[in-house]
């Protein structure tokens, strides 16, 4: 296929931007065949009359770019026209064709939501990472974060999203949903994602965040009393939960108190792994607010976001010459 002048000019430019490097890394570490295979049975085929269906991998790449840059459906379409890097990643040559429009991307996203295919995307990515030895599975860190939702009632229904609720954190009230995750304590990669309303207590979701092979579980002070809950009493695990801040401040200034303080610091260093995927999703992918209405749609997007976050966090190992990590 003949290369257009704009593509040739772009390929020979002297400086690579951060976007170029980021998309090149995502291109290299994403298990495209596995993701396509997971979606393909549900993807419409060209049958009968009508506009030809856009290739599945192209739509998947457009969807990945959308989530990596925190774009709306319309914003993603515009970005393909505006950015040669994104255009090249998606595989569009404007000298020969138009970019898929926002409506096509919306239909693709609805297809993923309808058939719970973002679960399949998340699981396919994690299976790929597990094959590389990146999930050690001996310990899990559990945590949750609030994702804000629009509190305004200036919409067609005149109401706030009924799936979202408000909760108080510190002295501030927040309206939205809560994202609960379980993270591998060694690698910092997310293996479980659950979406709930913001007023759901962290401790109630702890058992659901486990994959079943853990021996040790780490959590902050919000999980105090988790081992006493009925669903957790017979689990063959050790819970390492942080002290409440008031209790920690009151530790005696003797040898025993210093030992307990050292233990708290050790637990905190392990728990810090859970902040890495949150950082990627909220800061790198710019997902600080819910984009859609309803808990199901937003949870579906979170599965995609944390799957891609795992690839971002694991890319230094995946792009290394020897990526196999001993179990």
Over residues 91-96, the mean pLDDT reads 88
Torsional sign, CA 83, 76, 87, 279 = positive
Other Cβ atoms less than 10 A from the Cβ of 105: the count is 23
How far CA 139 is from CA of 124, 178, 211, 237, 242, in Å, comes to 21, 23, 10, 9, 16
pLDDT in tens, 239-275: 999 999 888 888 888 888 889 989 989 999 999 999 9
State the greatest distance between any 2 C-alpha atoms of the chain, in Å, as a whole number. Answer: 81
Decide: 323 and 29 in contact? Cβ < 8 Å: no
Residue-level length of the chain: 327
**pLDDT of the residue at 137:** 78
**pLDDT of the residue at 3:** 53
pLDDT in tens, 76-89: 999 999 999 999 99
C-alpha–C-alpha distance, residues 173 and 47, integer Å: 52
**Residue 201: left if φ>0, alpha if ψ -120 to 50, beta else—which one?**
beta
Beta bridge partners of 184: 140
Domain residue ranges of the chain, discontinuous segments joined by +: 5-115, 136-292
C-alpha–C-alpha distance, residues 55 and 60, integer Å: 9
Q: Is the pLDDT of residue 301 over 80?
A: yes
Q: Report the run of H or E that residue 22 belongs to, with start and end.
A: helix 18-29
Tokens at 214, concatenated: 């853990």
Q: Report the run of H or E that residue 144 belongs to, with start and end.
A: strand 139-148
Collect all residues with Cβ–Cβ distance below 8 Å to 294 and sequence separation of at least 6. Answer: 161, 163
pLDDT in tens, 118-172: 999 999 999 999 998 888 778 999 999 999 998 877 777 778 899 999 998 888 9
Burial (CB count <10 Å: 0-12, 13-18, 19+), residue 162: exposed
- Write down the pTM of the prediction: 0.90
**pLDDT of the residue at 326:** 40
Q: Is the pLDDT of residue 46 over 90?
A: no
C-alpha–C-alpha distance, residues 100 and 54, integer Å: 8
Beta bridge partners of 196: 178
Tokens at 258, concatenated: 């210093």
| Mean of all residue pLDDT scores within the chain | 90
pLDDT in tens, 55-73: 999 999 999 999 999 999 9
Nearest of 204, 205, 196 to residue 149 by alpha carbon: 196
**pLDDT of the residue at 189:** 96
How far CA 61 is from CA of 142, 184, 208, 304, in Å, comes to 30, 27, 31, 12
Nearest of 297, 291, 302, 299 to residue 114 by alpha carbon: 297
C-alpha–C-alpha distance, residues 287 and 148, integer Å: 10
C-alpha–C-alpha distance, residues 203 and 43, integer Å: 38
Collect all residues with Cβ–Cβ distance below 8 Å to 47 and sequence separation of at least 6. Answer: none
Mention the CATH class of domain 136-292.
alpha beta
């Amino acid at each position: 296929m003949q290369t257009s002048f704009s593509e040739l000019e772009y390929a020979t430019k002297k400086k690579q931007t951060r976007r170029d490097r980021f998309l090149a890394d995502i291109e290299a570490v994403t298990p495209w065949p596995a993701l396509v295979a997971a979606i393909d049975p549900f993807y419409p085929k060209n049958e009968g009359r009508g506009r030809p269906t856009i290739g599945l991998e192209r739509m998947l790449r457009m969807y990945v770019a959308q989530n990596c840059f925190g774009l709306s459906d319309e914003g993603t379409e515009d970005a393909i026209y505006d950015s040669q890097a994104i255009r090249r990643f998606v595989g569009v040559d404007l000298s020969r064709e138009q970019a898929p429009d926002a409506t096509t991307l919306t239909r693709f996203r609805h297809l993923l939501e309808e058939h719970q295919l973002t679960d399949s995307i998340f699981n396919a990515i994690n299976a790929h990472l597990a094959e590389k030895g990146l999930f050690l599975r001996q310990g899990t860190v559990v945590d949750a974060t609030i994702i804000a939702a629009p509190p305004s009632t200036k919409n067609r229904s005149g109401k706030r999203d009924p799936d979202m609720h408000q909760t108080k954190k510190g002295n501030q009230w927040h309206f939205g949903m809560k994202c609960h995750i379980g993270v591998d304590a060694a690698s910092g990669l997310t293996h479980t994602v659950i979406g709930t309303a913001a007023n759901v207590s962290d401790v109630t979701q702890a058992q659901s965040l486990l994959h079943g092979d853990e021996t040790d579980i780490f959590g902050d002070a919000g999980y105090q009393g988790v081992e006493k809950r009925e669903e957790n009493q017979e689990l063959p695990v050790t819970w390492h939960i942080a002290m409440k801040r008031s209790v920690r401040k009151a530790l005696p200034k003797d040898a025993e108190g210093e030992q307990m303080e050292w233990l708290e610091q050790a637990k905190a260093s392990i728990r810090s792994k859970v902040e890495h995927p949150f950082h990627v999703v909220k800061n790198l992918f710019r997902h600080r607010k819910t984009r859609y209405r309803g808990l199901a749609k937003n949870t579906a997007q979170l599965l995609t976001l944390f799957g891609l976050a795992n690839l971002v966090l694991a890319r230094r190992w995946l792009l290394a010459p020897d990526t196999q990590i001993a179990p």
